[in-house]
Amino acid sequence: MNTYEHLVRKRHSVRAFLPDPIALATVQQIMTTARWAPSGANLQPGHFWYLQGEKRAHLSNALCTAFHTGVSEQEEYDYFPQPMPMHLRKRQVSAAQALYGALGVARGDAKARTAQFERNYRFFDAPVALVVTIQRDLGHGGFMDLGMCLHSVMLAAQAQGLASCAIGALASYPKLVKKCLGLADDQIVVCGLAMGKEDTQHPINQTRTQRLDMADYFSVL
């Protein structure tokens, strides 16, 4: 059953994948479907870079090295508000507790938390690794349209029996990503995307987060 409600409720961020390879044709079919997402003036912003072999390994190794050596870069867009309001901070903390709680990692276990976070830069060892960028000269609406396309990618993958996880951590190293992949500076690194068959036995994939009550985001005037 691939109704919209079924797909959107079944989809969740998966951080452990089976090693089963995914055919490039399947990924291309997913991307073709996803491009039917709404887009203001039909601009269809954003680009998806499919990584394989040495190119992928080179990027992941460079990102892990930068992460462990404390290298920092100026991010090209603000993902979170600074400072984080307390009501949003509580949601952030709750999501982290669900993730590390599923792994049995204690709050003070910095080593285990660092090891888990590093897996972002290896695309969680998923068989499909994508880097998502957007042209620098687009307006803020371009991010909205790209977000709808990203969601469509994840739902189209779900309809194919594949899981996914968006990886915002890649946006912390925009210069490094573009250097490793040979991308022009007119591209903003938005995120990564891991895709493949879910390892349903891995405890991290038992993580679930809650959604707001309707009264918190829907009002009749």
Whether 114 maps to a domain, the answer reads no
pLDDT-based confidence at 1, cuts 50/70/90?
low
Residue 55 lies in a domain: yes
pTM attached to this predicted model: 0.95
* Residue 91 located in a structural domain: no
Side chain identity at 210, as an amino acid letter? Q
Residue 48 belongs to some domain of the structure: yes
CATH classification at residue 192? 3.40.109.10
**Residue 150 exposure: Cα atoms within 13 Å on the Cβ side:** 27
Domain that residue 150 falls in: 4-79+119-208
In a domain, 124, yes or no: yes
Beta bridge partners of 163: 196
Single-letter residue type at 165:
C
Question: What digits encode the pLDDT tens for the residues 96-133?
Answer: 999 999 999 998 999 999 999 999 999 999 999 999 99
Q: Is residue 41 part of a domain?
A: yes
Task: Round to whole Å and give the CA distance between 198 and 165.
Answer: 10
User: Is 95 among the domain residues?
Assistant: no
- How many domains, the chain? 1
Is there a domain that residue 14 lies in? yes
Taking only the tens place, the pLDDT of each residue in 148-177 is 999 999 999 999 999 999 999 999 999 999
